[in-house]
Structure 1
Amino acid sequence: MAAVRLDRITRRFSKSAAIEDITFEIPNGEFWVLVGPSGCGKSTILRTIAGLETATSGNLYIGDRLVNQIPARQRDVAMVFQNYALYPHMSVAENIAFGLKMRSCELKTIQERVESVARILEIGHLLDRKPRQLSGGQQQRVALGRAIARQPQVFLLDEPLSNLDAQLRDGTRTELKQLHQQVGITTIYVTHDQVEAMTLADRIVVLDRGKIQQIGTPQEIYDQPKNRMVASFLGSPPMNLISATFTGSSLQIGNQSFPMTLNLLPGQYDLGIRPEHLSVNTQKPHCVAEVSVIEPLGREVLVRAVLEGRSINLQTDPAMNLKLGDRLPLRFDVDRLFLFDSISGVRLYP
């Protein structure tokens, strides 16, 4: 196991930067997730750590070793790809053992590690099968097993669950977390799925357009987003963002307003409120919206409503029996309300 440190890493293709000035340090044994929209640079960071891409500038350390000029095969990292990259002509056992054979490990060591990995991943009954005889989830376990058997200093996982169906993905995500707790290897995981990021990570790195937007624990990023991009990206359903005007004594949304005391200059802002922090309140409503879409989810109902021409989401109790066109008196949890600069997107309140 080893810490991983990126010091002002930039990777340019022609005139544009895929990643720019990326700096962070992952402590030994932690599980970090790189998350962001497509094209944000997360896979480029992973490939640069692996040695599959070369940084244009900056320094990369694995443990105490500067690895800028060290080829991928000598970095002692193991990477699991989105498509698993299993050898179709080899059995499961042979796939798991492949990296060890390339290192000329003793036959006894190889056998012990294959058996140990198969036990951890519960694939001992599959060792004689070929990849084509396995389900997607089983293939994913074999790919992980091949990486674990090498006992690398660092695991790199590039969207390993994206080819699985929703139910299998949920179960495998739990298994991944348990696996990390067992083996304790420093892990860097790339995904565009914010649910995976929130449930797996010790810390999350949120990226957009090749730059770091925020680094923090899942709860820190959810509760204290630094800007509008982070706020809207993490959360399911996503945060509502509504254009609002602060008059000095109230917040105005279209033709509706409610009293609000803020240490801000009067002006135009983007108001952010998560669906779970909006409630139907007939006694002290802040505003009124009209129901446009109803999505029953069993224990709750996801409602989309129109507020002064803007679509918003909220969660309600099924017992409310809402209908399309119903007018909902809504109240904001003002302690969980955010205001962002309408131009830069930087959070200004709280």
Structure 2
Amino acid sequence: MARVHLEDIKRRFNNVTAIEDITFEIPDGEFWVLVGPSGCGKSTILRTIAGLETATSGKLYIGDRLVNHIPARQRDVAMVFQNYALYPHMTVAENIAFGLKMRKVDAKIIQERVINVARSLSLDHLLDRKPKQLSGGQQQRVALGRAIAREPQVFLLDEPLSNLDAQLRDDTRAELKQLHQQFGVTTIYVTHDQVEAMTLADKIVVLNGGRIQQIGDPQTIYASPANQMVATFLGSPPMNILPAIYKNENFDVNGQLLAIPSFIKENLPLRPGQSIDLGIRPEHITISTDSELTTQNFLVEVKVVEPLGRETLIRVSLPESTILLNVQVAGDMRLHPGDRLSLQLDLHHLFIFDPKTGDRIWPQP
């Protein structure tokens, strides 16, 4: 096991900068997740750590060793790919043992590790099967087993669950967390799935456009996003964004006025006519009994109803507006498209963003 330290890493491909100013340090034994939309640079970072890409500039340490110019095979990392990369002509046991045989590990040690790893992954009854005889989840566990058997300093996982169906993905995600708790190896996991990021990570690195947007534990990033990109990317359903204008000491949202609470007004200087983006998560919106429009509520129309069992997600729009809001209500509430509702926002959980930069201006950083 080892810490992983990236210091001002940049990777360019011809005239395109894939990642820039990437700096963070993963302590020994922690599970970090790199998350962001497609093309944000997360896989490039992972491949750079693995040695499959070469950093254009910056320093990369695994443990106390600078590895910029050390070949991938000598970095003592194990990578699990999205497509599993199993050898179809080999059995499960042979696939798990492959990396050890390539390193000329003693045959007795190989046999012991294969048996132990297979047992920990519930693969011990499948050791004689070929990959084509396995389910997708079983193939994924074989790929993980091959990485674990090597006993590397660092695990690198590149969207390993994306080819699995929803239920199997949930089950395998839980297995991954248990395996990390069992082996305690420094792990770096790449995904675009924010649910995987939130449930697996000790720390999350949110990326966009090849740059780091925020680093923190899942709850901190969810509760205190640094900017609008982070706020809308993490959370399911995502944070609602309402374009607004500061007008007569109120927020004007598409013609409906929302009173600004004193604790914001006294601490956040706003200019008359200033454009802002208001952010509010679906769980901080409630249906009001007040059917009259006031500066304490919004009148909306239900557009879509999505029953989810214990709760129902509704999508509503402001009158004569394309602005849609996600709202979570109790699962037994009967609503239909076209219904008119009055909504109240919990302004203690309100975020305000600069619409030009996307930076959060409230709560103040």
TM range (shorter): over 0.9
Deviation sequence 1:155-209 (CA, Å, 0-9, x none): 0000000000000000100000000000000000000000000000000000001
Q: Which runs of 4+ in 1 moved over 4 A?
A: none
State the shift of 1:16 in Å: 1.3
Cα distance in 2 between the residues matched to 1:319 and 1:152: 50
Question: What's the TM-score once normalised by structure 1's chain length?
Answer: 0.98
Cα distance in 1 between the residues matched to 2:336 and 2:148: 53
Question: What's the TM-score once normalised by structure 2's chain length?
Answer: 0.94
Matched to 2:298, the amino acid is C
Q: How does 1:181-220 map to 2 (within 5 A)?
A: 181-220=181-220
State the shift of 1:259 in Å: 1.4
Cα distance in 2 between the residues matched to 1:342 and 1:326: 31
Cα distance in 1 between the residues matched to 2:138 and 2:332: 41
Structure 2 equivalent of residue 34 of structure 1 = 34
**Comparing 332-341 and 264-273, the one that deviates more:** 264-273
Structure 2 equivalent of residue 325 of structure 1 = 338
Instruction: Please point out which of 273, 286, 298 is paired with 1:279.
Output: 286
Structure 2 equivalent of residue 144 of structure 1 = 144
Cα distance in 1 between the residues matched to 2:183 and 2:318: 50
State the shift of 1:252 in Å: 1.5
Structure 2 equivalent of residue 300 of structure 1 = 311
Cα distance in 2 between the residues matched to 1:232 and 1:319: 27
Matched to 1:5, the amino acid is H
Deviation sequence 1:60-104 (CA, Å, 0-9, x none): 000000000000000000000000000111000000001111111
Structure 1 equivalent of residue 253 of structure 2 = 253
Cα distance in 2 between the residues matched to 1:198 and 1:318: 24
In structure 1, the residue corresponding to 2:39 is in which secondary structure? coil
Is the CA contact 2:315–2:324 (under 8 Å) kept in the aligned structure 1?
yes
Cα distance in 2 between the residues matched to 1:87 and 1:106: 22
Cα distance in 2 between the residues matched to 1:146 and 1:313: 43
Q: Would you say 1:340 and 2:353 are equivalent positions?
A: yes
State the shift of 1:248 in Å: 5.7
Matched to 2:231, the amino acid is A
Cα distance in 2 between the residues matched to 1:106 and 1:328: 71
Cα distance in 1 between the residues matched to 2:115 and 2:99: 15
State the shift of 1:249 in Å: 2.2
Cα distance in 2 between the residues matched to 1:227 and 1:208: 11
Deviation sequence 1:121-171 (CA, Å, 0-9, x none): 010000000001000000000000000000000000000000000000001
Is the CA contact 1:248–1:265 (under 8 Å) kept in the aligned structure 2?
no
**Comparing 10-19 and 246-255, the one that deviates more:** 246-255
Is the CA contact 2:311–2:332 (under 8 Å) kept in the aligned structure 1?
no
State the shift of 1:113 in Å: 0.3
Cα distance in 1 between the residues matched to 2:39 and 2:72: 23
Cα distance in 1 between the residues matched to 2:118 and 2:98: 14
Deviation sequence 1:295-347 (CA, Å, 0-9, x none): 11111111000024111110112333112111111011111110000100000
Q: How does 1:1-350 map to 2 (within 5 A)?
A: 1-247=1-247, 249-260=249-260, 261=262, 262=265, 263-266=268-271, 267-283=274-290, 285-308=296-319, 309=321, 310-350=323-363
Cα distance in 1 between the residues matched to 2:247 and 2:50: 52
Is the CA contact 1:19–1:211 (under 8 Å) kept in the aligned structure 2?
yes
Deviation sequence 1:263-302 (CA, Å, 0-9, x none): 2313110111111111101248511110000111111111
In structure 2, the residue corresponding to 1:82 is in which secondary structure? coil
- Equivalent residue pairs, number: 350
Matched to 1:277, the amino acid is H
Is the CA contact 1:33–1:204 (under 8 Å) kept in the aligned structure 2?
yes
Cα distance in 2 between the residues matched to 1:333 and 1:151: 49
Deviation sequence 1:195-233 (CA, Å, 0-9, x none): 000000000000001000000000011000000100000
CA RMSD of aligned residues (A): 1.0
Name stretches of at least 5 consecutive residues in structure 1 with no aligned partner: none
